[in-house]
Amino acid sequence: MPSARPLVVSGMRPTGRLHLGHLHGALANWVKLQEENDCYYFSADWHALTTSYDRTEDIKKAEREMFVDFIAAGIDPQKSTLFVQSQVKEHAELYLLLGMITPLGWLERSPSYKEMRENITDRELALYGFLGYPVLMTADIILYKATRVPVGADQVSHLELCREIARRFNFQYGNVFPEPQPLLTEAAKVVGTDGRKMSKSYGNSIELGESAESTAKKVMGAVTDPARKLRKDPGNPDVCGIFYLHKIYSAPADVAWVDQNCRTAGIGCVDCKKKLLEKLGPDQERMRARREALLARPGEVEELVQLGTQKARAAAARTMEEVRAAMKL
């Protein structure tokens, strides 16, 4: 039954194991949201195809890893509905119908579309499916009549398009869809061990649920303020990835302690990193234990996702009945 709590939808493309950038950029927020909203979180496996139709063999495995990480990070399948986009065919039906009312110009003018077409040269992107990415994303969201969509800043233009398409539908066929708002994740900044944005493709990431030992190895080897060459040189925490992690993991008093003592060379980077690991290590171990417990019970994650998918299907089917009625189909 539809409930009175706000409806949240968000998805992630299945790319395999998640890292601390995913955790603090999105997932931690998803976990919080499940307390006061009805949350639908899904694997956007069709979206993965829009940029790599030729690499389908890894998708299912990556998806399983991703769901394990969702749960290890604290998504509770009893509270949130976990599902797979491609298993709820209504996404495709609504995508097709929305395609009929979406002007090409809206899609061609989309900033992320233009940027990717200009900058990505090693992959074929002159594809209908790639142009339609935001239409599929719109279907994902409004199919559940979501009003709140937690996304990163890079997705905000897609959300704007989503609202425009929903508005156009409502204008043409009658009010079916609410206009969803982005919930901008106060993106805790996470940089990788080399000081660049944390990304699997840079090989600079710390994975969610890595052992304390392996986390420590990466942290101890990580780049800090590049201007701080010697122990006696004062540093600038604002350009240091370790400091960003302190802001996420450490108590305010410890963050203040780092901030001050870095600037005055009161501590060295080794002290600073050890302090971080006091919190980061156990946190990683906690997630590692949850991952292991899940992995030790084969079929359990699949079953939870299966149940979520059934629930998503029921909700999607209700909306599509309204859509077909509104469109006189």
Binding-site member from 23, 267, 287, 323 for ligand SF4 (CB under 6 A): 267
Binding-site member from 224, 250, 284, 309 for ligand SF4 (CB under 6 A): 224
Is 237 near ligand SF4 (CB under 6 A)?
Answer: yes
Exposure class string for 253-266: b at 16+ Cβ within 10 A, else e: ebbebbeebbeeee
Binding-site member from 45, 90, 140, 207 for ligand TRP (CB under 6 A): 140
Cα 219 to Cα 242: distance, rounded to the nearest angstrom? 8
Select the span of 3-11, 68-76, 94-102, 123-131 touching ligand TRP (CB under 6 A).
3-11
Contact characters 165-204, ligand SF4, x per CB under 6 A: ----------------------------------------
H or E stretch covering 11:
strand 7-12
Is 258 near ligand SF4 (CB under 6 A)?
Answer: yes
Cα 75 to Cα 68: distance, rounded to the nearest angstrom? 10
13 vs 163 by CB, closer to ligand TRP = 13
320 CB neighbour count, 10 Å cutoff: 18
Binding-site member from 20, 68, 162, 272 for ligand SF4 (CB under 6 A): 272
Is 243 near ligand SF4 (CB under 6 A)?
Answer: yes
Binding-site member from 262, 294, 305, 312 for ligand SF4 (CB under 6 A): 262
Backbone angles phi, psi at 279, to 5 degrees: -100, -45
Contact characters 7-26, ligand TRP, x per CB under 6 A: --xxxxx-------------
86: which DSSP letter?
A: G
Cα 169 to Cα 327: distance, rounded to the nearest angstrom? 9
> Which distant-in-sequence residues (6+ apart) come within 8 Å of 219 by Cβ?
193, 206, 242, 245, 273, 276, 277, 280
Select the span of 28-36, 152-160, 173-181, 223-231 touching ligand SF4 (CB under 6 A).
223-231
Residues 44-103 binding ligand TRP (CB under 6 A) are: 44, 47
Cα 33 to Cα 36: distance, rounded to the nearest angstrom? 6
Burial class (CB in 10 A: 0-12, 13-18, 19+), 72: buried
* CA-CA-CA-CA dihedral for 234, 237, 239, 242, to nearest 10: 120
84: which DSSP letter?
A: E
Binding-site member from 8, 20, 68, 149 for ligand TRP (CB under 6 A): 149
Residues 119-138 binding ligand TRP (CB under 6 A) are: 137
Q: What is the separation, in whole angstroms, between the first and last Cα of the chain?
A: 25
14 vs 241 by CB, closer to ligand SF4 = 241
Is 280 near ligand SF4 (CB under 6 A)?
Answer: no
Binding-site member from 134, 182, 192, 235 for ligand SF4 (CB under 6 A): 235
Q: Tell me, by CB under 6 A, how many residues bind ligand TRP.
A: 13
In order, the DSSP letters of 142-163 are HTTT-SEEEE-GGGHHHHHHHH
Residues 283-322 binding ligand SF4 (CB under 6 A) are: none
Cα 22 to Cα 18: distance, rounded to the nearest angstrom? 6
Binding-site member from 82, 98, 141, 183 for ligand TRP (CB under 6 A): 141
List residues binding ligand TRP (CB under 6 A).
Answer: 9-13, 44, 47, 137, 140-141, 149, 151, 155
Question: Which residues make up the interface to ligand SF4 (CB under 6 A)?
Answer: 224-225, 228, 235, 237, 240, 242-243, 258, 262, 267, 269, 272-273
